[in-house]
Amino acid sequence: MKASILVVDDQSAIALSIKKGLMDVGFEVDTASNGEEALVRIEKKNYDIALLDINMPIMNGIQVLEFITAKHPYTDVMMMTAFDDFSLASECTEKGAKDFLLKPVDFTELISRINTLLRIRDSEQRFSNLRNMWQSTVLFDVLGSLRTIQFALSHTVDSLGSAIPNKDLALLAQARELNNQIAHTLKESIKINELAVCNRNHMCTDCALKEHVKEYDQIDGFFLFRQVETDFNSLVQKIVDRYDSYIQKKKISFQFTSEKQPLRVKCDAERVEQVINNILETAIVVSNSGEKVSFGFSKSQHGLDTAPSNCVICTFEYPNRSVSETKLEFDTIEKDTRWKNVVSDELQDELLNLTIARRVIESQGGAIEVKALENKYIQLRFSLPLA
């Protein structure tokens, strides 16, 4: 489908002429006769391009430009004016306009510039998709694995203690340090990449992104999955067996319940396994000796969103040391949920794991929810559709 364009000009003859010409070559076009009408249309519909006349009654084109830049940054703006004024063109560019045209508008030139702008938009979207896929891959496949390696190294040192020769202790310490350095470098590269994109898109110099870039803000990418029919019982049992020695060493009271009926789930087994790994690791790390950690899964006819769904539901409960006491519940199904608003900054690893878990589970057709229980425990549940 061709791009949607809004033409805003107080001279109806000009607006209608431009509309007809653009529609003749396949564009979807609406018109507005003044700035206020333009704002109403922009609030109701997403436009790819807004073509604005600068000199209009009630609200001029520059005011509309400022509104679009602030509220609808994914709409590109082209300005039109009868005055050949370099300072005016410069002001419009500084405020976010992508192009500046002189009236009367040469229609051939207009089509050429619109097509150029659309090609740039397409390139930027492709770049954004590749960047998001890279970030998601780094965050999940690399950082998640590095955290598991660090967890295993720490457990090895704690478990064996004095039985490890000094030279081996030194090697283990070096391995842990290298692991930390790699994770830190990857996180910093994500920040640098995001800031470069911010600058490239001419965002304001004091935008929040530049001051508050966190790795968990970069989760909005997408994953490529290798979904296969998986024996879920065996997958979970393998994970539980893997963490048995960690749990015993820390003297945690661990309760595991499983569905006796064989369950098969169509999923990316490696990524689901990593999600469960990360949740159990978090539960073990935040739990003290004698505290209870529970994990189980069962078949259900209802998904977490209450809609009928033949699925498996996994439930985790472990000590809550991160969720704000003033906010006992938060729902990861809501797309606008910002984990950083309800989780303390001191536990960014847990925050990152929860956010990654949400992305992975939702992308596989499942749902996930987390809430703080009154006994100062946290409950995490996620569902996956059965094959």
- Spatial separation of the C-alpha atoms in residues 77 and 93, rounded to whole Å: 10
In this predicted structure, what is the pLDDT of residue 136?
62
How many CB atoms within 10 Å of residue 292?
A: 14
Task: Tell me the domain boundaries of the chain.
Answer: 4-105, 124-217, 225-385
Q: Which of 169-173, 245-249, 344-348 has the highest mean pLDDT?
A: 245-249
Q: Is the pLDDT score of 310 beyond 90?
A: no
CA dist 166 → 157, 171, 174, 175, 249 (Å): 11, 9, 12, 14, 22
Side-chain-side CA neighbours of 117 within 13 Å: the count stands at 23
Q: Helices marked H in 4-85 — which ranges? A: 12-24, 35-44, 61-71
**Average of per-residue pLDDT values in the chain:** 77
Q: Is the model more confident about 87 or about 316?
A: 316
Tell which CATH classification among 3.10.129.10, 3.60.21.10, 3.40.50.1000, 3.40.50.2300 matches the domain 4-105: 3.40.50.2300
Structure letter (DSSP) for residue 35:
H
Three-state DSSP class for 5?
strand
Residue-wise pLDDT for 259-300, tens only, equals 989 999 988 888 898 889 888 988 888 899 999 999 999 998
Tell which CATH classification among 3.40.50.300, 1.10.3720.10, 3.40.50.720, 3.30.565.10 matches the domain 225-385: 3.30.565.10
Place of tokens 């061709």: 2
What lies within 8 Å, CB to CB, of 55 at 6+ separation is: 10, 61, 81, 82
How many CB atoms within 10 Å of residue 243?
A: 22
Q: Is the model more confident about 328 or about 99?
A: 99
Residue-wise pLDDT for 34-91, tens only, equals 989 999 999 999 899 999 998 888 888 889 999 998 888 889 999 988 877 777 778 8
What lies within 8 Å, CB to CB, of 13 at 6+ separation is: none
Structure tokens, 150: 């660090």
Q: Helices marked H in the chain — which ranges? A: 12-24, 35-44, 61-71, 86-94, 107-137, 144-160, 166-200, 208-211, 232-242, 244-250, 269-286, 348-363
- Spatial separation of the C-alpha atoms in residues 85 and 55, rounded to whole Å: 13
